[in-house]
Structure 1
Amino acid sequence: MAGLPADVLLVSLGSTAGLRAVDDALLGALERAGARVAMVRATAPPPVRTMALTDLAWARAARVAAQEGLARHRPRAVLYGSVGAALLWPRPGAIRLDAAMAANRPGRHGVWQRPRERWLLRRCPLLVPQSAEALAEVPQPRPAAVVVPPPVALPDRVRPWAERDVAAVAYAADPTKKGLDRVLAAWSRARRDGEELVVCAAPAGAVPRVPGVRDAGRLDRAAFLELLGRARVLVGAPRREDHGLVQLEALAAGARVVTTSAPGAFVALSLLRALEPRAVVADAEDPAALAAALRAALDAPAGALQERARGLLADRFAPAAVDRVVAGQLLPALLG
């Protein structure tokens, strides 16, 4: 195989741990489908002050990575791992997305990205949204699409409810977007002596030093999944949720999920409403309502919730199900 062109060049932005994990999973699925895949990843640029400039810096880094990958691997097709990776593409290609910038870059935050996205959509041969909900946010006109969700691994065994030694976990890579302030306000009302909320992925200094709250910092993926396997509840109050992979992983690990509703694709919401409607709080600005839902989840008996959640996840998000979509729909669409 040495010297053969790649079937697919996957251009990964890699600006967050979540994006890197999703791109790595897609790479594996494409390779299991029999494709020769080369992946290139943008080198992180220096931080800048605004979202518009941040997207520009990352887009430039992705363009450099894509140019190098095109020269080295001579691919038949190019797949950009996100809209951000495609913004300054050197060659048109398919675009993977968890959310359209028309939806998640409002106002001045997307002053140049939104018109650029519309330009891309007129030239993009294929969209690869992570969910039907994400596709619904993409402006018309848009190209053909193949929905490929990120896989959610289902552990062979989940820890029984009585053995879970972590009361609650919150994920706060972007504290404002993930609603860390709302979570902390609810936790201060809901917690009992001896209970601890573990906050993961928050930037340095974002988590206050208060009783019952521990800043776990940025955990590697294995450590984070292990923590979810020990937790009773994952709690969130997002201002927007582009997909909600962490919530799905928490359900797979046997934890309950308590959240406020939020705009965005947020595919976990429909599952949560089917599993435990009271775990979804309608008023995101009501800390008492979120605290009550959190307290109820912490105190509730395990029942059959864990197995019901895993059954719902298996139908749509299990790795084998995603592999079938990649092999049967995505790869033929990419390679024609």
Structure 2
Amino acid sequence: MEAVLDAQGLPDQAAEEHAAEHVERARVLPGEREVDPEDERHEAEPGEHPVLQGRRQPRPDEPADERAREDGADVDERAGHARRSVAERRRVRGFGSVATPCDILLVALGSTGGLAAAEDELLGGLRRAGADVWVVRSSPPRDVRTLALTDLQWARAARRAAQAGLLGHPPRHAVVFSTVTSALLWPDVPAGVRRAIRYDAPAAANRPGRHGVWQRGAERRRLQEADLLLPQSPGTLEESPVTTVPAIVLPIPVEPSAPDLDGPRDLAAVTYATNWRKKGLDRVLAAWAYARRDGETLAVAGASPAQVLDAAREGGMTGVPAGVEVHPTLAPAEYRALLRRARAYVTAPRREDYGLAQLEALADGCALVSTDAPGPYVAVELARRVDARWIVADDRTPHVLAAAVRAALDGRPADLVARTHAVLAPYRRAATDRVIAEQVLPALTAR
């Protein structure tokens, strides 16, 4: 056990201090806005990091042990989740606990529901391929003010989780990090153990300026040091600053939410807007105001009424246009039920790293109407193959998007579900399971 990480003498301390030094320099002056309202990366969405708006200050009457702090890892004990602090686990190990080896250790970030679901899919795929996989999950860190600090906090949490896993469940073959952020401060691993990184978009592309002041350099080093890269799309690999490391494209699988998708579709359209600026809700609402006909409804999921109003005003309107219903919080099953009722899914993202919500819409038989946003936007290429009229240039003019919305609503093909499922075939679970069994697992376990 001495060769494994000492959880108190952190092996990557120098890297952490280097990152923290640059983050400190990146802080803005008092009174300056920490997150640019035009920066689409400042809110959380499925598969991305949450952007925390301000450092949480403890209330004067708040007990010290309830104040915000950095917790240890959440360790999946297979029979259930046992949540213990790092200190508690150290005490347990100090009294002769025995490590249980595994084939692969998965270091999961779980910073959003969408990312957690993607990590669970990866875990399931590896286990279905026959690997003995142990997963450790990062505990949510305290709130901080900037994206650079947010990533630093999550990277620290992921390192603690990785150390816990390496101590308690040393892998025989590989450690897989579920995101670049979870790998930025990775610990040392035993000799002969491979390191792989799964990711949707590199910081080199989605952390510009001060938002990626330390992450971009750390990312370049980690990607170069990895034994295997698992980008979620070819576009992800194209944006990567490192192209010399072996890579296997491994998409997030998506499945229809019901066997029968031929039920009534009483909603004209749905849009997902948890990160409303990035998703371009202001542009969607402006287009909806032009495209809507009497009796048609646009369901906005994941945004509060106040956020929808803010988006409408940013889109040049004095209020929310007619025919908009708001669903601030929906369970995943409720959201998919909403998709099954909709004829179209409308979005106008300013950047898209993958497009999981759009892929789910295609899987549930929606016509996908979208702007052709920058980024490794997988869903837009599939939608273009279904009907190119529904994909428009990344244009702020609402009339262009409105015309595409009308084309999708008025000309919805009778065989749309068959078409969408045909283009989604490489993204179904059976297809990604084959990639894992035939390519990923052999690359992780070969001697």
Q: Which amino acid aligns with 1:128?
A: L
For 1:85, the equivalent position in structure 2 comes to 182
CA 1:49 to 1:203, structure 2 compared with 1: closer, same or farther past 3 Å? farther
From 322, 327, 332, give the equivalent of 2:432: 322
Secondary structure of 1:327's counterpart equals helix
Secondary structure of 1:232's counterpart equals strand
Asked if the contact 1:150–1:317 (Cα under 8 Å) also holds between the matched residues in 2, the reply is: yes
TM superposition shift of 1:156: 5.9
For 1:34, the equivalent position in structure 2 comes to 130
From 186, 190, 202, give the equivalent of 2:291: 190
From 233, 238, 259, give the equivalent of 2:370: 259
Scaled by the length of structure 1, the TM-score of the pair is 0.94
What's the CA shift string for 1:68-102, capped at 9, x where partnerless? 12211111211010111111111362100111111
- 1:310 is aligned to 2:440: no
Asked if the contact 2:390–2:408 (Cα under 8 Å) also holds between the matched residues in 1, the reply is: yes
For 2:273, the equivalent position in structure 1 comes to 172
Distance across 2 between alignment mates of 1:105 and 1:189: 34
Where do 1:258-277 residues align within 5 Å?
A: 258-277=369-388
Where do 1:14-163 residues align within 5 Å?
A: 14-76=110-172, 77-91=174-188, 93-154=195-256, 157-160=259-262, 163=264
TM superposition shift of 1:195: 2.1
Distance across 2 between alignment mates of 1:155 and 1:197: 20
TM superposition shift of 1:141: 4.4
Greater Cα shift, 53-62 or 30-39: 53-62
Larger helix percent: 1
TM superposition shift of 1:4: 4.2
TM superposition shift of 1:283: 3.4
Secondary structure of 2:261's counterpart equals coil
Q: Which amino acid aligns with 1:335?
A: T
What's the CA shift string for 1:267-323, capped at 9, x where partnerless? 112211211111001133111100111122122243222211111212x11111111
Secondary structure of 1:7's counterpart equals strand
Greater Cα shift, 294-303 or 202-211: 202-211
Greater Cα shift, 48-57 or 187-196: 187-196
CA 1:239 to 1:91, structure 2 compared with 1: closer, same or farther past 3 Å? farther
Q: Which amino acid aligns with 1:14?
A: G
Greater Cα shift, 82-91 or 256-265: 82-91
CA 1:240 to 1:304, structure 2 compared with 1: closer, same or farther past 3 Å? same
Secondary structure of 2:176's counterpart equals strand
In structure 2, list runs of 5 or more residues that go unmatched.
1-77, 79-97, 190-194, 310-318
Greater Cα shift, 324-333 or 199-208: 199-208
- 1:295 is aligned to 2:391: no
Secondary structure of 2:431's counterpart equals helix
Distance across 2 between alignment mates of 1:70 and 1:169: 44
For 2:16, the equivalent position in structure 1 comes to none
- 1:9 is aligned to 2:119: no
Q: Which amino acid aligns with 1:60?
A: R
Asked if the contact 2:224–2:242 (Cα under 8 Å) also holds between the matched residues in 1, the reply is: no
Asked if the contact 2:355–2:379 (Cα under 8 Å) also holds between the matched residues in 1, the reply is: yes
What's the CA shift string for 1:176-207, capped at 9, x where partnerless? 21111111111122122332222222367322
Scaled by the length of structure 2, the TM-score of the pair is 0.71
Distance across 1 between alignment mates of 2:306 and 2:143: 17
For 2:313, the equivalent position in structure 1 comes to none
Secondary structure of 2:306's counterpart equals coil
TM superposition shift of 1:212: 2.1
Structure number with bigger Rg: 2
From 359, 379, 395, give the equivalent of 1:248: 359
In structure 1, list runs of 5 or more residues that go unmatched.
none
Asked if the contact 1:158–1:253 (Cα under 8 Å) also holds between the matched residues in 2, the reply is: no
Distance across 1 between alignment mates of 2:248 and 2:385: 25
Secondary structure of 1:207's counterpart equals helix
Q: Which amino acid aligns with 1:5?
A: P
Identity %: 54
Q: Which amino acid aligns with 2:296?
A: E
Secondary structure of 2:197's counterpart equals strand
From 303, 306, 315, give the equivalent of 1:205: 306
- 1:216 is aligned to 2:327: yes
